[in-house]
Amino acid sequence: MIKDNQKHFNRLHVVIDAFVIAVSYWLAWFIKFESPFFQNSVKTLSFERYMAALVVIVPGYLILYYAFNLYTPKRVQGRRLEVSNIVKANTIGLFLLIVGLYLMREINFSRTMLFIFYGINIVAETIVRNAIRFILRDMRRRGLNQKHILLVGYSRAAEEYIDRIIQNPQWGYKVRGILDDSVEAGTEYKGIKVIGRIENLLVILPANRLDEIAITLGLSEYFRLEEIVSLCEKSGVHTKFIPDYNNIIPTKPYTEDILGLPVINIRYVPLSNTFNAMVKRLMDIAGSIVAIVLFSPVMLFTVIMIKITSPGPLIFKQERVGLHNRNFWMYKFRSMDVQPDAEEKKAWTVKDDPRVTNFGKLMRKTSIDELPQLFNILKGDMSLVGPRPERPFFVEKFREEIPRYMIKHQVRPGLTGWAQVNGYRGNTSIRKRIEYDLYYIENWTIGLDIKILFLTIFKGFVNKNAY
């Protein structure tokens, strides 16, 4: 069973980590005292004295790794979160080592070596853990190291959960079936059958052949939730609850404790936090200034080409809806022939649109026409990263047609965004675009912004859907 495998794997993982810590520490000592990089280093303490510190360092770091959840299962844990926890654990470890040496009045122990160890250990742990992740995912794709799950309740949540499991075989989940009272036995969804009624849990659980129970009841069945949870917990099988209202509750709900009463906020936006908003704004100001300087030759060339190839203004401004539903004027290099406002507002640009100039086609394909929005960012109308802003006419249209569409206006619109780097630009699905925008809004971090900017540089400028 996977429960036993996980125990053995965790023990092996601890041994591997201990080895990595020891080797990283030895390598730091070698670089500091034996390599040509630090030729003037003086060995005040012996090699044996330095290595004796591993008696404290290795178990200390393993405890820190455990405290930062680095031994939780890797099936669906993100790599970014794991790297972040490695950095945090090592940073605290370095701090404790330096404080310990200070309290012991040990002045001869090389602090430089500890900083080298800090860098090497973070890199080594990241490489080793990614290698382990790759090996495990490859095993699971081949049908090994499987986790057997039973779903209780046939609902939208059950179908969406099955969809994700099928799409990600590397997670190693095997759904054995679904129990439900209102759906006929034998009913099948993507190869997963309803195998009986919920009361069959009384027979299935004592057999102890399951690793997990996932409660996927429909909303109308929630009166049975307490009974089912109690039954599952008595058996000792790990139980999780997948709500049938994920279109209402965010992926990372913000929960408050009101004197022991849990209160779930329907929508938690990290950028509503003043500190987060301030950090993002400072990044926008610095980033837009740097980008304006870097792209100034491109913008100058574009201005000249627009003037040469097409009569009319250089800059095209268009009303868009931004933060808190406030309208603003968004700037672009003009890529179309001048036309009346009433005509321009009618629809999006389509393939082979005769209104687009020859040079305009190049600008749209390479996103050069978007560069003036750097000044929108500097003004505070936009951000480097965020959901793309839309025209008021389409906002009024989509707010009625697409659930949760208006949530995108709880943050500043962006020059680029999570939807855009995932291919949803131009003439693509609005619903999918909103899905990605909502994910970004609810899971914002500075790290995610940096990732999106890098992805934009490498694959986001050329837009195959731009006409």
**Dist. CA 71–CA 75, nearest whole Å:** 12
**Domain stops at, among 206, 231, 246:** 246
Residue 264 has pLDDT above 80, yes or no: no
**Dist. CA 314–CA 292, nearest whole Å:** 17
Task: Identify whether the C-beta of residue 382 lies closer than 8 Å to the C-beta of residue 242.
Answer: no
Residue 344 has pLDDT above 70, yes or no: no
**Domain stops at, among 98, 114, 141:** 141
Question: Mean of the per-residue pLDDT values for the chain?
Answer: 84
Claim to verify: residue 200 and residue 309 sit in the same structural domain: no
The pair phi, psi for residue 407, each rounded to 5°, is -65, -30
User: For the chain, what percent of residues have pLDDT higher than 70?
Assistant: 88
Total structural domains within the chain = 3
- Which helix (H) or strand (E) segment holds residue 338: the answer is none
CA-nearest of 228, 165, 219 to 192 is 165
**Domain stops at, among 85, 109, 141:** 141
Which tens digit of pLDDT belongs to each residue from 210-230? 888 899 998 888 888 888 888
Among 185-199, 235-249, 419-433, 438-452, which is the least confidently predicted range? 235-249
pLDDT on residue 2: 46
**Helix crossing, 54-67 with 79-103: angle to 10°?**
140
Which tens digit of pLDDT belongs to each residue from 230-258? 887 777 778 888 888 766 776 667 777 78
Claim to verify: residue 194 and residue 221 sit in the same structural domain: yes
Domain of residue 310: give its range.
272-460
CA-nearest of 363, 316, 382 to 462 is 363
**Dist. CA 51–CA 25, nearest whole Å:** 8
Task: Indicate the SS3 state at residue 428.
Answer: coil
CA-nearest of 201, 312, 270 to 443 is 270
Task: Indicate the SS3 state at residue 71.
Answer: coil
Task: Identify whether the C-beta of residue 65 lies closer than 8 Å to the C-beta of residue 90.
Answer: no
Claim to verify: residue 23 and residue 120 sit in the same structural domain: yes
Which tens digit of pLDDT belongs to each residue from 427-436? 677 888 888 9
Residue 267 domain-assigned (yes or no): no
Burial annotation 117-133 (CB, 10 A radius, 16+ → b, else e): bbebbbebbeeebeeeb
Average pLDDT over residues 193-199: 89
pLDDT on residue 96: 92
Residue 253 domain-assigned (yes or no): no
| DSSP-assigned letters across all residues of 344-378 | HTS----TT-TTB-HHHHHHHHHTGGGTTHHHHHH
**Dist. CA 112–CA 119, nearest whole Å:** 11
The contacts of residue 97 (CB under 8 Å, 6+ apart) are 57, 114
**Dist. CA 125–CA 19, nearest whole Å:** 10
Residue 258 domain-assigned (yes or no): no
Residue 166 domain-assigned (yes or no): yes
Which tens digit of pLDDT belongs to each residue from 34-46? 888 776 766 778 8
Average pLDDT over residues 131-148: 76
Residue 423 domain-assigned (yes or no): yes
Residue 135 has pLDDT above 70, yes or no: yes
Claim to verify: residue 299 and residue 399 sit in the same structural domain: yes
Claim to verify: residue 308 and residue 391 sit in the same structural domain: yes
Which tens digit of pLDDT belongs to each residue from 369-418? 899 999 999 999 999 999 999 999 889 888 888 878 888 999 999 999 99
Claim to verify: residue 279 and residue 410 sit in the same structural domain: yes
**Dist. CA 154–CA 184, nearest whole Å:** 10
**Dist. CA 187–CA 196, nearest whole Å:** 10
How many angstroms separate the Cα of 93 from the Cα of each of 56, 80, 165?
A: 11, 20, 37
Claim to verify: residue 415 and residue 292 sit in the same structural domain: yes
Claim to verify: residue 66 and residue 151 sit in the same structural domain: no
Residue 375 domain-assigned (yes or no): yes
Claim to verify: residue 189 and residue 309 sit in the same structural domain: no
Residue 340 domain-assigned (yes or no): yes
Claim to verify: residue 225 and residue 372 sit in the same structural domain: no
Output 413 or 259, whichever has higher pLDDT: 413
Residue 225 domain-assigned (yes or no): yes
The contacts of residue 282 (CB under 8 Å, 6+ apart) are none
The pair phi, psi for residue 430, each rounded to 5°, is -65, -40
Claim to verify: residue 353 and residue 440 sit in the same structural domain: yes
Output 211 or 463, whichever has higher pLDDT: 211
| DSSP-assigned letters across all residues of 235-253 | HT-EEEE--TTTTTS-SS-
What's the CATH number where 198 sits?
Answer: 3.40.50.720
Report residue 430 as tokens: 């609005």
Report residue 228 as tokens: 């089912």
**Dist. CA 333–CA 77, nearest whole Å:** 43
Q: Based on the number of CB atoms within 10 Å of its own CB, is 330 exposed (0-12), middle (13-18) or buried (19 or more)?
A: buried
